[in-house]
Amino acid sequence: MITFVIMNSKNLVVIFIVLVLGVFAGWYFYNKKEDQPLRTLPYFGPKHALKTDDTTYHTIADFSFVNQYGKTFTQEDLKGKIYVSNSFFTTCKSICPIMNRELTHVYKAFKDRNDLMILSLTVDPETDSVPKLAEHAKNYGVNDDKWWFATGSKKDLYELTRRSFMLTVEEGDGGVDDFIHTQNFALIDKEKHIRGFYDGTDSVEVARLITDIRTLIKEYEYKDKHTL
């Protein structure tokens, strides 16, 4: 026997209200989830006191170097950009080719973004002239301003690598007998803070770097969305 259930207008109104509330609740919680800040990256380096009860995180010091195009650039040219920094030298036959190969994954992943770039500083400025750097960049398919291979004063390069980017704990004075050889990458945010360190010879670590860059991008998007 088939039973037909006849609903009166009161029941239909109740069902309609429940459906509307359900749709509203789904919309609300979806948007509430979207409004929640995603995972944020930590800050690295010592804090510095500005005044009483006010501190700031470690920031990258000012610098002036020359890239593979022969252009002198300063930190001002990186203003408003997220970037990855590392050290290398063109005649390296051990870890540098591995690091550069891994960095090409980062380069290609964010090639279409104007607020993301890579800064590779040579640790052998006497050998790595601008033509050498240009040839090196070409070998990795770099023909734009998204990845700079840079040279300059050895003392300045080493000081920045050690004290600002904190890519090595080994001490040195940037003199003739001093040499840096590190596989570490540093992720720098738009405010010149270090937000992560990664082993550039480890593909898993570089995949983590790419994920962290995306997290940092979303962090800025969230800030922009919630800034009045």
pLDDT of residue 225: 86
**93 lies in a domain?**
yes
Looking at the chain, the whole-number percentage of residues with pLDDT higher than 70 is 79
- Give the residue numbers spanning the domain of 134: 48-225
* DSSP string computed for 56-70: E--BPPP-EEE-TTS
| 35 and 112 together in one domain | no
Question: What is the rounded CA–CA span in Å between residue 62 and residue 49?
Answer: 19
CA 103 → CA 2, 84, 89, distances in Å? 70, 9, 14
SS3 category, 150:
strand
Q: Which residues of the chain have pLDDT under 50?
A: 4, 28, 30, 32-34, 37
**5 lies in a domain?**
no
**1 lies in a domain?**
no
| 103 and 159 together in one domain | yes
| 30 and 101 together in one domain | no
pLDDT of residue 226: 82
**3 lies in a domain?**
no
**103 lies in a domain?**
yes
pTM of the model: 0.81
Q: pLDDT tens digits, residue range 152-170?
A: 999 999 999 999 999 998 8
Q: Are the beta carbons of 157 and 119 closer than 8 angstroms? A: no
pLDDT of residue 39: 74
Q: Are the beta carbons of 54 and 110 closer than 8 angstroms? A: no
Strand segments (E) across 7-63? 48-51, 54-56
Q: Report the C-alpha dihedral over residues 174, 179, 184, 186, rounded to 10 degrees.
A: 20
| 35 and 56 together in one domain | no
User: What count of other Cβ atoms lies within 10 Å of the Cβ of residue 58?
Assistant: 17
SS3 category, 28:
helix
| 54 and 103 together in one domain | yes
CATH number where 135 lies? 3.40.30.10
Q: pLDDT tens digits, residue range 59-75?
A: 999 999 999 999 999 99
| 87 and 27 together in one domain | no
| 70 and 25 together in one domain | no
CA atoms within 13 A on the CB side of 120: 31
**27 lies in a domain?**
yes
pLDDT of residue 37: 47
Close Cβ partners of 192 (under 8 Å, ≥ 6 residues apart)? 59, 60, 75
| 21 and 81 together in one domain | no
Count of domains observed in the chain: 2
Q: pLDDT tens digits, residue range 46-61?
A: 876 555 555 688 999 9
| 33 and 14 together in one domain | yes
| 34 and 83 together in one domain | no
**29 lies in a domain?**
yes
Give ∠ CA 204-207-213 in degrees, rounded to 5.
145
